[in-house]
Amino acid sequence: MQQTTIHHDSWSAHRMLRLTLFLFLFLVCTPAIGQYKVGDRARDFRLRNMGAGRTFVSLNTDRTAAGYVLVFSGLHCPWSKAYIERLIRIDRRYRPLGYPVLLINPNDPNQVKADSPDDMQRAAREQSFPFPYLFDELQDVARDYGAVRTPHVFILCKEKEGWMVRYSGAIDDNTEFPEQVTVHFVEDALESLLRGSFVRQETTPPVGCPIAWKKR
Residue 4 has a pLDDT of 43
Residue 130 CA to its chain's centroid (Å): 19
Gap between the Cα atoms of 141 and 126, Å rounded: 26
DSSP 203: B
Nearest partner of 104 among 67, 138, 128, judged by Cα = 138
The answer to whether 100 and 91 have CB atoms below 8 angstroms apart is: yes
* pLDDT tens-digit series, residues 7-47: 444 444 444 444 333 333 333 344 434 589 999 999 999 99
Sheet containing strand 133-135, edge to edge, reads 41-42, 162-169, 152-159, 67-72, 101-105, 133-135, 46-49, 56-58
210 backbone dihedrals φ, ψ, rounded to 5°: -60, 145
Residue 44 burial (10 A CB sphere; 0-12, 13-18, 19+)? exposed
Res 129: pLDDT? 95
- Across the chain, mean pLDDT equals 87
- pLDDT tens digits for range 138-172: 999 999 999 999 999 999 999 999 999 999 999 99
Q: Within the chain, what is the greatest distance between any pair of CA atoms?
A: 80
Pick from 213, 65, 67: nearest CA to 150? 213
**pTM exceeding the 0.85 threshold for the entire prediction:** no
Sequential DSSP letters for 128-139:
T-SS-EEE-TT-
Residue 72: beta bridge partners?
104, 152
